[in-house]
Every structure is written in C-alpha cells, then in structure tokens.
Structure 1
C-alpha cells in the first residue's frame, strides 16, 4: 500500500482549505462508526492501532521529504489519532453509563472535535513543545497531546454540566 494513502487518510489530507480540520472531521465520523460497532473497547483498540500505524507511516513518509518540510499539512493520520484520543473521554462515559453503542449524544463528539481543533491550532504549552520537536515524533505527539487535553476538557465540561448545572 502506498504510504501517502495512509498518511493522508485516503487523501482526505489533500482537501483544502484546512486539511487538519477535514482530517479531524473524517476522524469523528469514523470514530462514531467504530464506537457504534463496538463501543469504548473497540474505539480504544482502534486508537492504539491508528497511533502505531501513524508513527510507522509518518516515519516512512517523512523520510522522502525535504528536511525543511517538518509537518506537512496533508499528513492527517496524526489528526485521526489525536481526535480519537479526544473521543475516548465521552465514549468511556457513555459506555460506563450503559448507553447503546449507537447512542453517542452530540455534545460529546462536538465538544471533542471543537476542543481538539482548538488545542491543535493554538498549540498551548506541551502541544507547542511537541510540535517544535519536528520529525515523526513532533508530527504525531502534538496531536496526541492536543487529543489528551481535549479529552480532559470534555470530561471536565461533562462533569460540570452533570454535576453542577443539572444538580
């Protein structure tokens, strides 16, 4: 298989403008499908798998590029890994609540999407440090940290809403 098919997630990364947002949107759609098919456990397994595949494929793709091209915008497999990491927070909550796996209420996935894009674009603190690392690790790690921050944000927002606002 062509490495570019993997790193661009079947060429979603070539869509313009905002290829990272297109990659994240595709990741949400796929993540919802995966959650529907197998709930949190399947989404967690898929997240681990796409992260490993991302490190492997990005390393091969980056080896063919000029050194100055440190984070090509068309590579969006990192967005998929980070976005799925963000989706794990609401997925776990819904799974623990015993919701049907096809029931993934919109505030969870919208919150994960919006917060992930915010952290991925803004690149605060550890996200920015990882991005500046460059290479395969920098390409993948900044999105994984952004996904972790987004997941924590969704978790905190849900706790605030359900614990304070709905109390």
Structure 2
C-alpha cells in the first residue's frame, strides 16, 4: 500500500493519457513547495529522499513482474523533474529571487526533462535498459541532469552570458 502511494505519487500515475507527463506536472508544485519551505538545500535533500523512496517502491511494485517499468510508476519523474529545476532553485535561493519570477526556466525545465525522458538519448537509454528498479529511477535522474544543463545553457543565452 505504501509502495503504491509512493510509486504512483498518491495516484497521479493512474491519470491518462501520458502518466509520465502527469507525474512531471505534479512535481512542479511539489518542488515549488519544497523550495519555499527550505530553499535549494531542502530541494537537494528532498530529491535524494524521493530517489531512495522511489527505488524502494519501484522494487516492491515490480517484484515478480515482467514489466520492470509500469506506466503508473511516476515517482521517478518527480526526482528527475526536481533535478531539472535545481538550477532555478539554486539561483532563487542564492540571490533572494522569487522562484516563480523565473517562469521561463520552469517551462524549459519541464519541456527539456520530458524530451530527454521520452527520447532517452545516450545514458538515459542505457539506464532504462538495465531492466530493474534502479534503472527506472536512474534514467529519469540522468534525463533531469541533462535538462538541468539545458536550463543553464538557455539561461546563459537569455541573459547574454554567452554573447561575447
């Protein structure tokens, strides 16, 4: 029961169509709340805790199953989406900026994370092909890291840092 609640993010994973996208969308207000409560440090800790809980829940939910990554498991999307949001959380926390003022970065983080999670380029696909609970979590962590780099690059471009 607890594994189901964690793995499906309180049932969000049962929404159709595209449960992974719903999981990523649910991660946004949750990530905002974590950031508002404790800033970037709390987001880092919460992401680590969600990763660990998600790994455990995924292992429990898929034990004895052929499908190692059923679509209703979306806790991995929460961890990955929070990693994609990390540059925004850090900047807001470090500079005392309202994190919602960086709304274009939120859009970029969401779109890039979904793109990498669906497309599964490079190491994202390698992690996904592990065929186990750790792979379910890792592919989204890697997609989140790639999206995070994309968010940083787009922010640098938007703010003229890359313009000589």
TM-score (norm 1): 0.91
Distance 1:128 1:72 in 2: 16
Is the contact between residue 36 and residue 103 of structure 1 (CA under 8 Å) also seen in structure 2?
A: no
Distance 2:82 2:43 in 1: 7
Q: Deviations over 1:13-59 (max 9, x none)?
A: 00000000000000011101111222111111111110111111111
1:87 is aligned, of 77, 85, 88, to 85
Count the aligned residue pairs: 164
Within 5 Å, give how 1:64-75 maps onto structure 2: 65-67=64-66, 69-75=67-73
Runs of 4+ residues deviating >6 angstroms: none
Is the contact between residue 78 and residue 139 of structure 1 (CA under 8 Å) also seen in structure 2?
A: yes
Distance 1:42 1:2 in 2: 23
Unaligned runs of 5+ in 2: none
Distance 1:15 1:118 in 2: 19
TM-score (norm 2): 0.93
Is it true that 1:148 corresponds to 2:142 in the alignment? no
Tell me what 1:137 maps to.
Answer: 134
Within 5 Å, give how 1:9-158 maps onto structure 2: 9-63=9-63, 65-67=64-66, 69-100=67-98, 103-158=100-155
Distance 1:84 1:45 in 2: 11
Aligned alpha-carbon RMSD (Å): 1.7
Q: Deviations over 1:77-111 (max 9, x none)?
A: 000011111111111122222214x6452112111
